[in-house]
Amino acid sequence: MNVIRYNRAGYTFLNVTPDDVRGKKCYQLIDRTTPCDICATRECLQTKKPARRIKFNEELNIWLDCRSYPLLGDQGQVNGVIEHLREIGGPEADQTAGS
């Protein structure tokens, strides 16, 4: 799936414009050429259920709480995914990693 849009915080966080993201893969926007090994969105697409992963993103040098929510169609097919990324750090990353 390709990125359709981000909210204002996403554009600011990645320092990109709406035109920069349209039609790209999320991993391309953080200067990767391949998908992340730990990916909530990939799990969400496979299971058709919400997914959550805590991971350290080396490209951005931050800990992220990554959540993905499927947008299902009338026949149960995944029409899209909403990604929710939140920067976390230090003790908070340790506390939420078990969730």
| Residue-range domain boundaries for the chain | 8-97
Q: What is the pLDDT of residue 66?
A: 94
Share of the chain above pLDDT 90, in %: 73
CATH (residue range 8-97)? 3.30.450.20
- The pTM score is 0.81
Q: Looking at 23-37, 61-75, 80-94, which range is the least confident one?
A: 80-94
Q: Write out the chain in H/E/C secondary structure.
A: CCCCCCCHHHHHHHCCCHHHHCCCCHHHHHCCCCCCCCCHHHHHHHHCCCEEEEEEECCCCEEEEEEEEEEECCCCCEEEEEEEEEEECHHHHHHHHCC
Confidence of residue 41 (pLDDT cuts 50, 70, 90): very high
pLDDT(96) > 70? no
